[in-house]
Structure 1
Amino acid sequence: MRKSDSYPNVWDPIANAAEQAANLHTRSELLEKIGEIVRQSGWTESDAARHCRISQPRMDDLLCGRVAHFSLDALVNIATALGLRVHVELAPA
């Protein structure tokens, strides 16, 4: 990759395929939104973990943005545990 190369999605240069880049992008968006909600709630990591029904080390991974540690299914389950509804919107690439 040259310094002047640009990509429409931050995940494109590290993903092996467009499908993988889309999955990484979706997971990162969901992880970021869940992290925002947790931070705005003012919970400790332990409190947040209990609300999300995950362990405290998993919550630390989430809050540190370790997207590779979470599947899309796991993130949907965490969002649901917080009482959220996940909505998927499809748009042309």
Structure 2
Amino acid sequence: MEVQTFDNIFDALARNPAEAANMKARTELMTAIRLRVLEWNLSQQAAAARLGITRPRLNDLLRGKLGKFSLDALVNLATACGLSFEIRIAEAA
């Protein structure tokens, strides 16, 4: 049996480098949004209303259900949280 090693978990889980990059970006956004929402100290219902989403949708976000969120949806939620972010472009290793 051949042992494979990866630079990060996303490379191990993804089918290709593009999918790994997408998963990494979504995870970073989801983590930042989750931390911001927790800082608010609001009920899930109030936090969901503040973000313009349903409480079950917020619950999915807080539980880290990455597969339920597109990069586009997370960008919109980050903006609704009052977060800004930058995209860095670099040569692939």
> Could you state the TM-score of these two structures normalised by the residue count of structure 1?
0.88
Alignment of 1:25-64 (within 5 A): 25-64=24-63
* Counterpart Cα distance in 2 of 1:40 and 1:5: 39
Conservation of the 8 A alpha-carbon contact between 1:31 and 1:75: yes
Q: How many Å apart are 1:85 and its aligned residue?
A: 2.1
* Paired residue type of 2:47: A
Q: How many Å apart are 1:7 and its aligned residue?
A: 1.4
SS at match of 2:9: coil
Report what 1:24 is aligned to.
23
Report what 2:85 is aligned to.
86
Alignment RMSD (CA, Å): 1.7
Conservation of the 8 A alpha-carbon contact between 1:52 and 1:78: yes
> Could you state the TM-score of these two structures normalised by the residue count of structure 2?
0.88
SS at match of 2:67: helix
Q: Which has the higher helix share?
A: 2
Q: Any runs of at least 4 consecutive aligned residues in structure 1 with deviations exceeding 6 A, and if so which?
A: none
Question: Matched residue pairs, number?
Answer: 92
Q: How many Å apart are 1:39 and its aligned residue?
A: 0.7
| 5+ residue gaps, structure 2 | none
Q: How many Å apart are 1:13 and its aligned residue?
A: 1.3
* Counterpart Cα distance in 2 of 1:18 and 1:8: 12
Flag the structure with more relative contact order, 1 or 2, with Cα contacts below 8 A and sequence separation at least 6. 2
* Counterpart Cα distance in 2 of 1:92 and 1:35: 30
Q: How many Å apart are 1:92 and its aligned residue?
A: 3.3
Percent identical? 39
